[in-house]
């Protein structure tokens, strides 16, 4: 059989074919939504609404009532949600049995030949969700990463059983295809910054396990300028959406402007000077706190400069930084400026 596609790219043709396959599996009156950047299509009830801030978030939230996603806020709880997590399917399914939920359970299942888990849980008062919020959904294995389709129903909202049916039908309509790769905007590049995330930790007792998050920064010719931009992104801390997904950091908007200088020296030394963070970050001097903070800083630095030996200071004083975190001072503390 020959298929002739004129006027569109092969990637666009694959999206159309995947969307057509999803449409064929839809209940009457449903629509299909395709996210080209994430590489999936999913069905949803025709009278429902969807909204997003960025193209990468397309087809991730649906609700029978109109809603908005406000900049700088967490995505609202909607009756049909889609997310892609960096962790494995079984790990994500296990989230719904931790201390934040009661009556949490999950079991293996298969959807259109793809392995995964079906889960159900009720939030208690130990997490960010209102106590009594009911969750139901599926976690599918997509190449080692978790693809989640779920409903979240607050305690004051009725219709939980009908929303479960919507999820069952929506997950049956899911089709995957190769994501459309976009190029970085002109004059910008991607860097990685690192935060902790208890949900993703392989070792729950580890204080130094950190996980990458992408940031876009201007393109510089100088490595010092690029590292400066990456560290400033790190010092802003996780976004609201990232915090909702479990990412944690000592850094936040309070520390966003605390970087004073970066200097790359011979033999791998990298001098990094901050304003006095001790007045902005409390309790970082504990053994676990200092390990977590240093892991985020050093891993971010070495992501750009793999052989770097960072030397940190507060207001130019390496001893002040070491005393703050109850660490042994470095043997050498070169000035941050020539």
Which pLDDT tens digit goes with each residue over 136-146?
A: 999 999 988 89
Identify the domain containing residue 57 by its residue range.
10-176
Q: Is 60 exceeded by the pLDDT of residue 16?
A: no
> Which band of pLDDT confidence, cut at 50, 70 and 90, is reported for residue 5?
very low
From 156, 176, 196, the end of a domain falls on 176
In a domain? residue 304: yes
Q: What local confidence, expressed as pLDDT, does residue 186 receive?
A: 61
Task: Order across the sheet with 309-314: list the strands.
Answer: 259-264, 269-274, 309-314
- Are 168 and 22 found together in one domain? yes
- Are 197 and 171 found together in one domain? no
Q: What is the pLDDT of residues 188-217, one digit of tens each?
A: 888 999 999 988 888 888 899 999 999 989
Q: What local confidence, expressed as pLDDT, does residue 20 receive?
A: 56
Q: Retrieve residue 302's tokens.
A: 């070495």
From 146, 176, 206, the end of a domain falls on 176
For 292, half-sphere exposure in the C-beta direction (CA atoms, 13 angstrom radius) is: 21
Q: What local confidence, expressed as pLDDT, does residue 338 receive?
A: 54
Q: What local confidence, expressed as pLDDT, does residue 3 receive?
A: 39
Q: Tell me the percentage of the chain whose pLDDT exceeds 70.
A: 88
From 149, 176, 203, the end of a domain falls on 176
Q: Is 90 exceeded by the pLDDT of residue 44?
A: yes
Q: What local confidence, expressed as pLDDT, does residue 7 receive?
A: 43
- Are 254 and 300 found together in one domain? yes
- Are 84 and 231 found together in one domain? no
The CATH number assigned to the domain holding 121 equals: 3.40.1000.10
Q: What local confidence, expressed as pLDDT, does residue 278 receive?
A: 87
Q: What local confidence, expressed as pLDDT, does residue 6 receive?
A: 43
> Which band of pLDDT confidence, cut at 50, 70 and 90, is reported for residue 25?
low
Q: What local confidence, expressed as pLDDT, does residue 145 receive?
A: 87
- Are 125 and 206 found together in one domain? no
User: Which of 330, 290, 241, 323 has its CA nearest to residue 52?
Assistant: 241
Q: Is 50 exceeded by the pLDDT of residue 4?
A: no
> Which band of pLDDT confidence, cut at 50, 70 and 90, is reported for residue 63?
very high
Q: What local confidence, expressed as pLDDT, does residue 18 receive?
A: 52
- Are 310 and 250 found together in one domain? yes
- Are 150 and 70 found together in one domain? yes
In a domain? residue 318: yes
- Are 169 and 220 found together in one domain? no
Q: Is 90 exceeded by the pLDDT of residue 99?
A: no
Q: What local confidence, expressed as pLDDT, does residue 144 receive?
A: 87
The 10 Å Cβ neighbour count of residue 147 is 26
In a domain? residue 335: no
Point out which residues pair with 311 in neighbouring strands. Answer: 271
- Are 170 and 195 found together in one domain? no
In a domain? residue 183: no
In a domain? residue 331: no
- Are 105 and 199 found together in one domain? no
In a domain? residue 210: yes
Q: Give me the number of domains the chain comprises.
A: 2
Q: What local confidence, expressed as pLDDT, does residue 297 receive?
A: 97
In angstroms, rounded to a whole number, what is the distance separating the alpha carbons of residues 31 and 191? 37
Q: What local confidence, expressed as pLDDT, does residue 53 receive?
A: 80
In a domain? residue 337: no
Q: What local confidence, expressed as pLDDT, does residue 86 receive?
A: 76
| Helix, strand, coil in percent for the chain, rounding step 5 | 25, 30, 45
pTM summary value: 0.59
- Are 43 and 139 found together in one domain? yes
- Are 217 and 259 found together in one domain? yes
Q: Is 90 exceeded by the pLDDT of residue 245?
A: no
In a domain? residue 218: yes
Average pLDDT for 178-197: 80
Helices (H), 34-156: 89-95
């Amino acid at each position: 059989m020959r298929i002739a596609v004129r006027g569109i790219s092969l990637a666009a043709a694959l999206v159309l074919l995947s969307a057509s396959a999803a449409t064929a599996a839809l209940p009457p009156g449903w629509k299909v939504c395709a996210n080209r950047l994430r590489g999936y299509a999913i069905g949803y009830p025709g009278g429902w609404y969807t909204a997003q801030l960025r193209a990468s978030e397309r087809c991730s939230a649906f609700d029978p009532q109109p809603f908005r996603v406000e900049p700088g806020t967490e995505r609202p709880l909607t009756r049909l949600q889609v997310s892609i997590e960096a962790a494995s399917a079984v790990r994500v399914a296990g989230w719904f049995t931790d201390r934040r939920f009661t009556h949490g359970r999950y079991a293996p299942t298969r959807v259109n030949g793809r392995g995964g888990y079906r889960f159900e849980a009720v939030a208690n008062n130990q997490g960010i969700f209102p106590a009594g919020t009911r969750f139901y959904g599926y976690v599918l294995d997509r190449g080692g990463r978790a693809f989640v389709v779920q409903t979240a129903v607050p305690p004051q909202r009725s219709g939980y059983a009908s929303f479960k049916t919507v999820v069952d039908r929506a997950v049956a309509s899911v089709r995957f295809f190769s994501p459309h790769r976009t190029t970085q905007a002109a004059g910008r590049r991607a860097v990685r910054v690192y935060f902790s995330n208890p949900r993703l930790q392989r070792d729950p007792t580890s204080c130094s396990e950190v996980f990458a998050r992408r940031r876009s920064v201007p393109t510089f010719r100088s490595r010092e300028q690029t590292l400066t931009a990456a560290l400033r992104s790190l010092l802003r801390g996780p976004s609201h959406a990232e915090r909702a997904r479990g990412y944690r950091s000592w850094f936040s908007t309070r520390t966003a402007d605390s970087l004073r200088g970066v200097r790359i020296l011979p033999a791998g030394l990298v001098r990094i000077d901050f304003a006095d963070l001790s007045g902005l970050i409390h309790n970082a001097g504990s053994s676990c706190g200092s390990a977590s903070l240093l892991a985020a800083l050093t891993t971010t630095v070495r992501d750009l400069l793999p052989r770097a030996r960072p030397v940190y200071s507060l207001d130019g004083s390496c001893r002040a930084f070491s005393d703050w975190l109850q660490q042994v001072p470095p043997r050498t503390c070169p000035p941050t400026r020539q």
